[in-house]
């Protein structure tokens, strides 16, 4: 347990950031899974709309250091390739 006042404050701050980060991670994963589901069901028009949302979530996550920038780029590339593969 923290002893000093500043350590108590740091703990509170850490817990708050952890909760926010977990919420954002869950939203990102949910968006990714819904995109995957739409692609599997061959609902390509809906998948394209969902891809736009996934891009926004990935960019925001990379911007706030929730995930690394290159991971966001890699995921965007793979998701786009997956959509293009299904559309052929």
- Nearest to residue 17, comparing CAs of 76, 60, 65? 65
In a domain, 4, yes or no: no
The residue range of the domain holding 52 is 42-88
In a domain, 70, yes or no: yes
Q: What is the pLDDT of residue 87?
A: 81
CB atoms within 10 A of CB 72: 20
In a domain, 81, yes or no: yes
In a domain, 37, yes or no: no
Per-residue pLDDT of the chain (88 residues; tens, 9 = 90+): 888 999 999 999 999 999 999 999 999 999 999 999 999 999 999 999 999 999 999 999 999 999 999 999 999 999 999 999 988 7
Q: How many domains does the chain have?
A: 1
Global confidence as pTM: 0.86
Q: What is the pLDDT of residue 56?
A: 96
């Amino acid at each position: 347990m923290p002893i000093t006042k500043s350590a108590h404050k740091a703990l509170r701050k850490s817990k708050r950031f952890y909760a926010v980060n977990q919420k954002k991670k869950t939203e990102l994963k949910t968006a990714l899974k819904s995109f995957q589901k739409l692609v599997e069901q061959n609902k390509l028009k809906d998948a394209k709309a969902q891809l736009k949302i996934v891009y926004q979530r990935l960019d925001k996550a990379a911007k706030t250091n929730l995930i690394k920038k290159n991971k966001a780029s890699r995921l965007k590339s793979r998701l786009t390739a997956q959509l293009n593969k299904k559309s052929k």
